[in-house]
Chains A and B, each alone.
Chain A
């Protein structure tokens, strides 16, 4: 045996907290979800470590999606901010947060997006930020639009911002979507509703925060993100 203690593993998700891979109402899962049961992988050092991706990748304006072009994008200017925490409420510091979204009209700057809504020459829709020593991040952007897709008759995605996080370990990797409160499209969206536990689903919805708005400038939404927490480090005398 080595003369060091293995680090503590990260805790599993609660039941129904994660969407099932096979969610037939979301059509694309039908051919893309495994049919065999997932195999339990004990967390060794490969899973308990992860890429330290960082500040050298994030430019000074990467967090401000409204200032990446000569002019200002169309749309409702918003700040999206929050904290990245682990399941025990501890801040996840100095970790990379990546976002991408549609413009205000609901159109992605992507060749595959055929929604006949206008592109905005002043909006790309991609951003990057690092969390600070308290796990805080902040983006300035415009509110994305809803967009149609072909999953079912007259299907529309609620407005959302895609988020990608690494945390501090391979085990903590998370790709998710942030939604806006009281969206009338929630009920018919199979991606949002793939999260079966209503309380867990609500954790995908940002909170409007009037106190954080900038007067005569922008509205503000708070979106805290919780990555998996880890068990306490085993004590020396534990077998």
Chain B
């Protein structure tokens, strides 16, 4: 008995973007970098009217949230949430930091990851995916990555860049990003 989802439509820029939206951490937060990417549709064309949102733990793997059973921890300069609309070339850029490992449902640690929502015209519900980090040894033991077909798994692993990491999102087609449901 929930309220159904509907598309965010083409005009969400009227209400959703914030001036500080792309900043999951303060600009000068220790270890801060840029998470950048392009959103592509099933024809390989950039999607200029998507909204990317992220949610993640702080570098110690903690959340400033009452449901963190270890107790909420507020880290100065860390929000853990960011939202960024794509530009005319389908690109987004979010300032963030590498999260620590986070407990999964059974309490066992998952490899550092960032949860991502993709909202756009043509999406009747958001798409959910995850960013994992390149050169992260813990990826090999991550229980979520283990459930994903080995070839498609690569779509969840970001690439290193000059000023951070790149995570492109392909909504449909040959290199379709792995999307989750829960």
Which residues of A pack against B, CB within 8 Å?
A: 1-2, 4-7, 9-10, 12-14, 17-21, 23, 26-36, 38-53, 57, 87, 98-100, 108-110, 112-113, 124-127, 162, 164, 168-171, 173-177, 191-192, 194-195, 200-201, 203-204, 225-229
CB A121 to nearest CB in B, in angstroms, measures: 15
CB A201 to nearest CB in B, in angstroms, measures: 7
Whether the Cβ atoms of A44 and B172 lie closer than 8 Å is no
Whether the Cβ atoms of B42 and A31 lie closer than 8 Å is yes
Whether the Cβ atoms of A164 and B182 lie closer than 8 Å is no
CB B141 to nearest CB in A, in angstroms, measures: 14
Whether the Cβ atoms of B124 and A21 lie closer than 8 Å is yes
Whether the Cβ atoms of B1 and A14 lie closer than 8 Å is yes
Number of interface residues of B (CB under 8 A): 74
Whether the Cβ atoms of B69 and A19 lie closer than 8 Å is no
- Chain A residues closer than 8 Å to B181, beta-carbon distance: 38-41
**Roughly how many angstroms separate A125 CA and B41 CA in the complex, as a whole number?**
29
Q: In the complex, which residues 39-61 of chain B have their Cβ closer than 8 Å to any Cβ of chain A? A: 41-43, 45, 47, 49, 53, 55-57
**CB of B27 within 8 Å of the partner chain:** no
Q: Mostly helix, strand, loop or mixed at chain A's interface?
A: loop
Whether the Cβ atoms of A28 and B14 lie closer than 8 Å is no
**CB of B81 within 8 Å of the partner chain:** yes
Whether the Cβ atoms of A175 and B6 lie closer than 8 Å is yes
- Chain B residues closer than 8 Å to A226, beta-carbon distance: 1-3
Whether the Cβ atoms of A42 and B6 lie closer than 8 Å is no
Whether the Cβ atoms of B147 and A39 lie closer than 8 Å is yes
**CB of B135 within 8 Å of the partner chain:** no
**Roughly how many angstroms separate A1 CA and B106 CA in the complex, as a whole number?**
8
Whether the Cβ atoms of A47 and B14 lie closer than 8 Å is no
Whether the Cβ atoms of B179 and A201 lie closer than 8 Å is no
From B8, B67, B69, A175 is in contact (CB under 8 Å) with: B8
- Chain B residues closer than 8 Å to A30, beta-carbon distance: 42, 122
Closest 10 CB pairs of A and B: A28-B122, A100-B15, A51-B81, A32-B122, A49-B65, A41-B180, A31-B42, A44-B104, A19-B124, A38-B181
From A26, A32, A52, A109, B64 is in contact (CB under 8 Å) with: A52
**Roughly how many angstroms separate A32 CA and B46 CA in the complex, as a whole number?**
11
Whether the Cβ atoms of B65 and A177 lie closer than 8 Å is no
Q: In the complex, which residues 2-58 of chain B have their Cβ closer than 8 Å to any Cβ of chain A? A: 2-16, 18, 41-43, 45, 47, 49, 53, 55-57
**Roughly how many angstroms separate A4 CA and B106 CA in the complex, as a whole number?**
10
- Chain B residues closer than 8 Å to A194, beta-carbon distance: 6, 124
The residue in chain A whose Cβ has the minimal distance to the Cβ of B110 is A44
- Chain A residues closer than 8 Å to B147, beta-carbon distance: 39-40
Of A32, A52, A225, A229, chain B has the most CB atoms within 10 Å of the CB of A32
Whether the Cβ atoms of B113 and A48 lie closer than 8 Å is no
Of A27, A34, A110, A225, chain B has the most CB atoms within 10 Å of the CB of A34
Whether the Cβ atoms of B5 and A126 lie closer than 8 Å is no
- Chain A residues closer than 8 Å to B121, beta-carbon distance: 28, 32
Known contacts A6-B105, A108-B14, A191-B124, A42 near B182 by CB under 8 Å: yes
**CB of B115 within 8 Å of the partner chain:** yes
The residue in chain A whose Cβ has the minimal distance to the Cβ of B39 is A32
The residue in chain A whose Cβ has the minimal distance to the Cβ of B42 is A31
Whether the Cβ atoms of B172 and A17 lie closer than 8 Å is no
**CB of B97 within 8 Å of the partner chain:** no
Whether the Cβ atoms of B171 and A38 lie closer than 8 Å is no
CB A158 to nearest CB in B, in angstroms, measures: 11
Known contacts A19-B6, A19-B125, A30-B42, A38 near B103 by CB under 8 Å: no
Whether the Cβ atoms of A19 and B10 lie closer than 8 Å is no
The residue in chain B whose Cβ has the minimal distance to the Cβ of A57 is B18
CB B20 to nearest CB in A, in angstroms, measures: 10
